[in-house]
Structure 1
Amino acid sequence: MIYRSLMFTPGTNKERLLKSVSSEADALLWDLEDAVHPDEKAAARAVIQEALDELEDKPAKPIFLRVNQYGTEWYAEDVKLARHENVNGIMLPKAESARQVEETWEGMGANGELIVLVETAAGIVRLEDIFSNPNVSGVAFGAIDYAVDADLTLTEAGLEAIYARSRIVTYAKAAGVEGIYDTVFADIHNTESLQKRAVSARALGFNGQMAVHPKQIETIHEVYSPSREDIDWAVKVLHHAEHEEKGAGVFMLDDKMVDRPIIEKAKQIYQAAERYQLIIGG
């Protein structure tokens, strides 16, 4: 699956967890890691268990658990909780190897979605190994932890992380991993900068982004959804390719050359529009 937005909610607050189900986010990240103090890890796991049990039916909105890092004292029990019938999958933080992915997959019952969160220099270097495990369904970039690990200074322009972002996208695409998600934007009141950062990440090949507050969802969805103009263009290209210029390898449309790569791009836009229910397929 591909999600435009994945929204974090701390695992310590049952009311907020349950409320998040009615948010506009495409998917939910119920957090057992960074948002939870070490002394509250077990308590947070119990709170999430209660919240999951209180959901009468599995919600249409996917719920992921961001578990604690592989090798920590909390990791194994966090992963086991992902076997709950109302959990769709796991986000594995600081992923650095195929072995970590495999043990997580087995721990969660070999079922569901597994998103790796790459946020260390070792993780960036070992992407080929990480993606060699076929159970990886998505990848997310954790820029804040990566900046600490690599001693980078995060800037609004984001140039310092272009190598990491491009490497993630390239290796994910090569491995057939569909969901590629950019890092959180911590300043929840700075919508303009969030929009600029999302546009930049989208241009690099990311197709979604993690969020820390519901007010960020509208901006994220706007950026990661095809525009009305893009959809109209895609429909026009595909119509001409199928009907007007059927069988032609190359043709002209609005004084511009259309060849196979252009047609494939139009298909991508059309499929995204269908996925996000911006058009009805047919």
Structure 2
Amino acid sequence: MIYRSLMFTPGTKKERLLKSVNSEADALLWDLEDAVHPDDKDGAQAVIKEALDELGDKPAKPIFLRVNQYDTEWYEEDVKLARHENVTGIMLPKTESSEQAAKTWEGMGSEGELIALIETAAGIIRLEDIFSNPNISGVAFGAIDYAVDVDLTLTEAGLEALYARSRIVTYAKAAGISGIYDTVFPDVHNEVSLQKRARSARALGFNGQMAVHPKQLEIIHEVYSPSREEIDWAVKVLLYAENEAKGQGVFMFDGKMVDRPVIEKARQIYNAAERYQLVIGG
């Protein structure tokens, strides 16, 4: 699956966890890691279990658990919690090897979705090994932890993390991983900068972003959804290729050359529009 937005909610707040199910987020990240103080880790597991039980039938909105880092004392119990019928999958923080992914997959019952969260220099240079695990369905970039690990300064332009972002997208695409998600934008009230950052990540090949607050969702969805103009263009190109230009390897449309890569781009846009219910049917 591909999600435009994955929204974090602290695992210690049951009311907020249950409320998040009615948010506009495409998917939810119920957090057992950074949003939970070490003294509250066991309590957060219990709170999330209660919230999952109270949901009753499997919710329409996917729920992921961001578990604690591999080799921590809480990791195994966190992963077991993902076997709950209302959990869609796991986000594994600081993923650094295919072995970590394999053991997480086994611990979660060998079903569901597994998102590798890349947050360290080791994770960046070991992407080929990490993505060799066939059970990884998505990847996310954690820029804040990455900045700490490599001692870089995060800026609004984001050029300092360009290498990491481009490497994640390239290796993920090569491995056939569809969901590629950018880091959270922590300044909740800075909507202008959020939009700039999201557009930059989208241009690099990311197709979604993690969020820390519901007010960020509208901008994230706008950026990671095809625009009306893009959808109209895609529909026209695909119809023209199927009808007037059928059988032609290359043709002119609206004064511009159209060949196979252009047609494939139009198909990508149309498929995204269908996925986010911006068009119905074909």
Q: Name the TM-score class by shorter chain.
A: over 0.9
CA distance in 1, matches of 2:96, 2:187: 28
Give 1:29 deviation, angstroms: 0.1
CA distance in 1, matches of 2:281, 2:128: 35
Superposed CA deviations along residues 220-258 of structure 1, whole A, max 9, x for unmatched, are 000000000000000000001101100100000010000
Superposed structure 1 runs of 4+ greater than 4 Å apart: none
- SS in structure 2 opposite 1:157? coil
1:34 aligns with 2:42: no
Superposed CA deviations along residues 24-78 of structure 1, whole A, max 9, x for unmatched, are 0000000000000000000000000000000021111000000000000000000
Counterpart residue identity of residue 14, structure 1: K
- SS in structure 1 opposite 2:42? helix
2:154 alignment partner in structure 1: 154
Superposed CA deviations along residues 86-116 of structure 1, whole A, max 9, x for unmatched, are 0000000000000000000000000000000
RMSD: 0.3
How many residue pairs align between the two structures? 282
CA distance in 2, matches of 1:84, 1:98: 24
Counterpart residue identity of residue 117, structure 1: L
Give 1:211 deviation, angstroms: 0.1
CA distance in 2, matches of 1:128, 1:232: 37
- SS in structure 2 opposite 1:247? coil
1:257 aligns with 2:257: yes
Superposed CA deviations along residues 165-224 of structure 1, whole A, max 9, x for unmatched, are 000000000000000000000000000000000000000000000000000000000000
Runs of 5+ consecutive residues of structure 1 not aligned to the other structure: none
- SS in structure 2 opposite 1:29? strand
1:167-178 aligned at under 5 Å gives the runs 167-178=167-178
CA distance in 2, matches of 1:265, 1:223: 17
Counterpart residue identity of residue 65, structure 1: L
1:215-254 aligned at under 5 Å gives the runs 215-254=215-254
CA distance in 1, matches of 2:247, 2:270: 20
Counterpart residue identity of residue 39, structure 2: D
- SS in structure 2 opposite 1:137? strand
CA distance in 2, matches of 1:74, 1:259: 53
Give 1:85 deviation, angstroms: 0.2
CA distance in 1, matches of 2:91, 2:56: 24
Counterpart residue identity of residue 143, structure 1: A
1:106 alignment partner in structure 2: 106
CA distance in 2, matches of 1:202, 1:54: 36
1:82-231 aligned at under 5 Å gives the runs 82-231=82-231
CA distance in 1, matches of 2:185, 2:239: 39
CA distance in 2, matches of 1:140, 1:266: 25
Give 1:281 deviation, angstroms: 1.8
CA distance in 2, matches of 1:72, 1:122: 18
1:18 aligns with 2:22: no
Counterpart residue identity of residue 121, structure 1: A
1:270 alignment partner in structure 2: 270
CA distance in 2, matches of 1:98, 1:112: 17
Runs of 5+ consecutive residues of structure 2 not aligned to the other structure: none
1:76 aligns with 2:81: no
CA distance in 2, matches of 1:281, 1:264: 18
- SS in structure 1 opposite 2:8? strand
Counterpart residue identity of residue 199, structure 1: R
- SS in structure 2 opposite 1:76? helix
CA distance in 1, matches of 2:243, 2:79: 51
